[in-house]
Structure 1
Amino acid sequence: MKQTFAFALLFTMCTVAFSQRRDRIINLENIDKKPLSWGYFLGFNQYDFKIENNTTDSFQTAKTSGFNVGLVGEVRLHEHFDLRLEPGLYFTTRTIGFPFNPLFSSERDQIREVKSTYIHVPLLLKVSAKRYYNWKPFLVGGVSTSLNLSSNQDNPEDNDSGTFRMKKNTYYYEVGIGIDFYTHYFKFTPSVRGVFAINDELVRDNDPNSPWTSGIDALYTRGIFVNFTFE
C-alpha cells in the first residue's frame, strides 16, 4: 500500500512538472462551466482486510494489485463544488492465512484465497481549488456501495469445502485527492482514494465452532484506488 501511494505521488509530481514547462496557453477554458459532463476512468487498486477478533487467534492477510474500469458523470454545483457518480468494475484478489491454528494440518486449510469482482458505485463531492493555468487540485469524499459478484454468499458449501464466503453488498466511505490537467483535447485527472467498509462482510461457516470463522468478530474491506480519468 505504501508503494501505491509512492507511485501515485511520483506520477502526479512528474505530470505537474511537465505541465509547468508547457507554454501557458489556457486549454479547454470553458469545460468546467458545463452543468453536466461525462467521461471514463482506468486504474488499479489494492484491497485489504481489516480483521477484528477478541481471541488469541492470529490472522495474516496479503493483497495484490487489481485493476478498475468505469464511467464518470459529474454535475456542477458551484465554481468549486461538483457532485460525481463513478460506477465501475473492480477486480482484486486477497489471501487470508491461519498459520498458527493447531487444528490445521495442511497448507490447504491454512490459506484461503479470496477473489472478488465488485460493481462499485460511489457518490462523491469534489471540492476544487481555483484553476491555475492548465491544472487544478481538488479533494474528494463521499459514500459508496458495491455488489460482490464473487461473494459466494448463497453457496451452501463453506470453508470445510474450501469456500470462503462474504456478503454480496458492502457500504463504504471514501476520501481522496487528485489534480485536473487540461490538455488541448480533453481533461486528464489522476486521483488517489482511500476506501473503508463500514459493515461486517463475513458470512460465518455452518459450524459455529469453525476454526476459520469463529475467531473473527468482524471483517471489513479497505483499499486504495488510483484512477486516471478522461473527460
Structure 2
Amino acid sequence: MLRKFLVLSLLLGCFAVTFGQREKVLKLPNFDKPLFHYGFYLGMNNNGYKVSYKPSFVDKPDIEVTSSIGFNVGLIADLRLHNNLNLRFEPGLMSNTKTLVFNHISGSNETIKTREVGATFLHLPIILKASTNRINNVRPYILGGVSYDYNFSSNESSSDDNFAGKFRTKTSNFMYEIGIGVDLYLNYFKLSPSIRGVFAINNELKYDNSSPSQWTDPIDFLGTRGVFLHLAFE
C-alpha cells in the first residue's frame, strides 16, 4: 500500500512540474484571496485492511485481504489561515468492498472460509493543507488530518456473527490521512488532484459473541489501510 502511494505521488509531482513549465498566462489571479471558498470532490479508493494477530487457540492464523476499487464523493469548505496554510472540512461518502479469506480454517467450504465485507462510510475529515507559493498556474501542496467515519454497513448491532455467516465491524471509527497534491488554475475553476493515504486509528473489528471463534479470536487489530485518488473542483 505504501509503495502504491509513493509511486502515484511521484507521477503526480512529475505532472505538476510539466504543467507549471508550460503555462505562462496567469489564470484566476485572485482565487486565493478570499477568506472562505467552497467546492466539491470526486475520487476513487482502494481500501483494504491491516490485520495483526494475538495469541489464541489458532496456531498460525492467516487472513488474506483483497479489495475492489470504490468511489468517493463529497463537498469542500476551505478557510484560509495564512497565505500558505488552509483548514478544510471535506464531508463525503466513501464506498468499497473487501474480501477476507481465512486460510487457517481447514476444509474446502468457501462459505465458512470467506467473508465479503461491503462498506459505505460517512467520511468527515478535518484537513490542514500547506501549499508552496504559486508557480504560474500551479501550486503544489501537502496535507494531513484526522477524520471520523460512520460505517452504515458495519452490522455492529446485529446479533448474528460469523457463526451465522456475518462478519461485523464497528460503526464509529477514527482515521488519519496524509497526502500530496497540486492546485491547477484553469480558466473558470481550480482543479486539485491529490493522492492520499488513509489509516485507521482504532480497531474496527466487532468480535464474535462466543469463544472460541476461528474467525475473530486470532485478530488483535483490524483497521482500514487505503489509497485515494482525489479530484477537487473549487
Quick one: distance in 2 between partners of 1:184 and 1:76? 22
Aligned partner letter, 2:189:
F
Which of the numbers 42, 57, 62 marks the counterpart of 1:58?
A: 62
Report the counterpart of residue 17 of structure 1 in structure 2: 18
Query: Would you say how many aligned residue pairs link Structure 1 and Structure 2?
Result: 229
Report the counterpart of residue 118 of structure 1 in structure 2: 121
Residues 119 and 152, structure 2, Cα contact 8 Å, conserved in 1 = yes
Report the counterpart of residue 91 of structure 1 in structure 2: 95
> Deviation of residue 12 (structure 1)?
5.6
Aligned partner letter, 1:64:
S
Quick one: distance in 1 between partners of 2:19 and 2:220? 49
TM-score by length of 2: 0.92
Residues 8 and 226, structure 1, Cα contact 8 Å, conserved in 2 = no
User: Residue by residue, what CA displacement relative to the aligned partner does 1:95-145 show, whole Å, maximum 9, x if unpaired?
Assistant: 11112222x551111111110000101101101111101000011011111
Quick one: distance in 2 between partners of 1:60 and 1:43? 26
> Deviation of residue 208 (structure 1)?
1.8
Quick one: distance in 1 between partners of 2:232 and 2:17? 16
Q: Which runs of 5+ in 2 are unaligned?
A: none
> Deviation of residue 200 (structure 1)?
0.7
User: Residue by residue, what CA displacement relative to the aligned partner does 1:160-210 show, whole Å, maximum 9, x if unpaired?
Assistant: 221110000110111111000000100000001111111111111111211
Quick one: distance in 2 between partners of 1:69 and 1:8? 21
Report the counterpart of residue 46 of structure 2 in structure 1: 46
> Deviation of residue 11 (structure 1)?
5.5
User: Residue by residue, what CA displacement relative to the aligned partner does 1:145-171 show, whole Å, maximum 9, x if unpaired?
Assistant: 100000000111111221110000110
* Secondary structure at the counterpart of residue 165 of structure 1: coil
Report the counterpart of residue 166 of structure 1 in structure 2: 169
Aligned partner letter, 2:159:
P
Task: Say yes or no: does 1:77 pair with 2:78.
Answer: no
Quick one: distance in 2 between partners of 1:115 and 1:132? 42
Indicate the percent of aligned positions where both proteins have the same amino acid.
Answer: 42
Residues 12 and 190, structure 1, Cα contact 8 Å, conserved in 2 = no
Aligned partner letter, 2:224:
T
> Deviation of residue 38 (structure 1)?
0.3
Task: Say yes or no: does 1:151 pair with 2:166.
Answer: no
> Deviation of residue 21 (structure 1)?
2.3
Paired residues for 1:191-230 under 5 Å: 191-230=194-233
Deviates more, 1:185-194 or 1:4-13: 4-13
Quick one: distance in 1 between partners of 2:137 and 2:84? 16
User: Residue by residue, what CA displacement relative to the aligned partner does 1:58-84 show, whole Å, maximum 9, x if unpaired?
Assistant: 111111111111001100000011000
* Secondary structure at the counterpart of residue 163 of structure 2: helix
CA RMSD, Structure 1 to Structure 2 (Å):
1.6
Aligned partner letter, 2:117:
V
Quick one: distance in 1 between partners of 2:113 and 2:181? 40
- Structure 2 CA distance for partners of 1:78 and 1:11, relative to 1, 3 Å: closer
TM-score by length of 1: 0.93
